[in-house]
Structure 1
Amino acid sequence: MKPLLSLSALIDQINERVGQAVKWLILLMVIISSLNASVRYAFNYSSNAWLEVQWYLFATVFLLCAGYTLLRNEHIRIDVVCGRLARPTQIWIDILGTIFFLFPMVILIMTLAWPMFMKSFTHLEMSGDAGGLIRWPVKLLIPVGFFLLLLQGISELIKKIAILTGDIPDPGEHGHHHHTAADGEAA
């Protein structure tokens, strides 16, 4: 189990770093949005490119932080029933949900998104709006973001199995794991 926990720690570190870096784009998005609105009202001028930059930044945050959100256990859950179940049952629900819902959905979206990105990239697709931006970079975010989510799903699956086998302690319903590769223990 130690090699798998080391892999899990590496995946956690990747998504942690991506999340910490990408969250600064929210500030940039707010600044651009404020400036865009100010220019539009003060000078009666608007730019499709700047509007699309806002959309691209939102897409970047949303897609690249999906794995980070799962790592932090901040994703949307419906715990009305599950929250009343015994902790081992909750862990099994997470394991089965990851295997039968998260993984197939992520793989399907990545499979469908890659050809869409490639077509956009090879044709150098541009926005249909006047002054709009090139489209392939934002379309690349879809398979990349879902790949990061897939990796985090693998990490969470490893950790849930390790909890059930007693290899790491259970952080509880709302905790997330930070374990070291050297000892496999939760920190």
Structure 2
Amino acid sequence: MIKVASMVLKNNLTKITFITLLTILFLYILNFVTDKNEALANVENKRIVEVFKSPSCGCCNGYVLFLEKENFKVKQIDLESVHTIKQKYAIPLEMQSCHTTIIDKYFIEGHVPLEAINKLLKERPDIDGLALPGMPIGTPGMPGDKEEPYVIYQLVDGSFSVFMTI
């Protein structure tokens, strides 16, 4: 290898070619490593969520697709009775919807829009979770266009108050 390099470097044009090739090889390797690291970082940056839902719920599947599109890594947990998860998190009946999502230390009840989830995760308030009761038309996972403002509630120990209106 050293002998070949010595022979190659004897004339200036060959030296320039050799250095150029080495530079290209170095940049190629650097680019490959960087791309691989960025891909790994993107996978690691995906926030993991669990969605507890009925296996036959179509709008729940729509919400899962919405979360995946928004770069969440979703673990779906199909339950015969979703009431057990709602009882576990003390979600009052009037705040319930068809599915419950767990993200970090919070629950997200129903078809809560991304804007509210992002606000929750940015501010990290001392609450148990968020709820958008029922299945409002036009929310993520639900068909149709938004007809009225969505009132998202924050819950603490079963009590609730307005978190935000979208």
Instruction: Tell me the TM-score normalized by structure 1.
Output: 0.25
Flag the structure with more relative contact order, 1 or 2, with Cα contacts below 8 A and sequence separation at least 6. 1
Q: Choose 1 or 2 for highest CA Rg.
A: 2
Instruction: Tell me the TM-score normalized by structure 2.
Output: 0.27
More strand as a share of residues? 2
